[in-house]
Amino acid sequence: MSEPQSSATASQEAPETATWDLAGEKTENGNGTTPVSTRRPQQSTVSQVTAPVFTKLGNPGPLGLLSFAITTFVVGLLECGAGLPHSDPDGNVGPNQASFGIVVFMGGTAQILAGLMQFRVGNTFGTTVHCAYGAFWLSFGMFMLPYLGIEAAYNGDKRAYTFAIGIYLIMWCFLTVLFFIAALRTNIAILSVFFFLILAFLFLSLAEFTATEHATASRNLNKAGGAFAVICAFCASYAGGSGLMLPETTWVRFPLGEISRV
């Protein structure tokens, strides 16, 4: 009787198996030996720089609100006739030329930057509002540059020019109404900003519509619009200041009057 084939099977060499570690050395194989390979991992000739990871983003809201507040306050006072001869915003001395710098840089540039940063944090409403009003201030500043010839293009037709300005302002009033509706579930401070801004645009536009036919009424309407702009600026300052009152820097808090969300 022949011997079982198990002895022949046992005498067969086990196939060599190996893995590679990070140093390129061959680890222990099935036979218990530890041969070393001459293979080395290929080194990269390009330095790898890890991009920084930002785990926290700042709040751009205060920048947008405060830049809007400062500009609106200055322009509102001038529309009221503050510091002008006989307090007449329609007199020979232009009421807004002194505010051109703050209109362009604080009201326009800073607010558009705040709107772009709102886009970065995913705030569609904040992006739209800040960029829109930033564009408003930049376009408003164009009326202060005589060499652009905007008023001269009407060939001395003051009624046509003031009506054009009135249409320009009333459209911003309508847009602000839209923003007010979109903000109904935010807080009282933000709603107050939009509410008084609606009144400011409304009265300023009415002042332009009546500038040539009812000069006295137009002057009073213009002053009322400027007064509402000043109140709006105070509300925006409060809302913007609230965003700066952080637990890391102060104990003071500005309550915004949160509206219960149903």
pLDDT per position as a tens digit, 12-28: 444 443 333 333 444 44
Q: Could you give the CA distance from residue 164 to residue 217 in angstroms, rounded to a whole number? A: 18
Residue pair 162/208 in contact (Cβ under 8 Å)? The answer is: yes
**What pLDDT, on a 0 to 100 scale, did the predictor assign at position 82?**
79
Sign of CA dihedral 135, 140, 145, 148: positive
Task: Report DSSP letters for 173-223, one per residue.
Answer: HHHHHHHHHHTTTSBHHHHHHHHHHHHHHHHHHHHHHTTTT-HHHHHHHHH
Residue type, 232: C
**The predicted structure's pLDDT at residue 21:** 37
CA–CA distance, 140 with 200 (Å, rounded to integer) = 15
Q: State both tokens at 21.
A: 């570690």
Q: Residue 10 has what pLDDT?
A: 45
pLDDT value at residue 23: 38
- At 238-259, the pLDDT tens digits run 999 999 999 999 999 999 998 8
Report which residue type is found at 19: T
How many angstroms separate the CA atoms of 141 and 256, rounded? 31
Two tokens, residue 106: 């604080």
Is the pTM value of this prediction over 0.85?
no
Phi, psi (degrees; rounded to nearest 5) at 20: -115, 130
> What pLDDT was estimated at residue 231?
98
Q: 146: helix, coil or strand?
A: helix
Instruction: Find out whether 203 and 228 touch, Cβ atoms under 8 Å.
Output: yes
**What is residue 152's DSSP assignment?**
G
The CA distance from 74 to 89, in Å, is 13
- Residue-level pLDDT at 58: 87
Confidence (pLDDT) at 186: 93
DSSP assignment string, 66-111: HHHHHHHHHHHHHHTTTTSGGG-TTSSS-SSGGGHHHIIIIIIIIH
Residue that the structure tokens 């007064």 belong to: 227
190 half-sphere exposure, CB direction, 13 A CA radius:
21
Mean pLDDT by 10 residues, the chain (262 residues): 47 41 44 51 53 75 96 93 60 64 94 95 95 97 86 88 95 98 96 98 96 90 96 98 93 90 58
For residues 226 and 153, give the distance between their C-alpha atoms in angstroms, rounded to a whole number.
Answer: 27
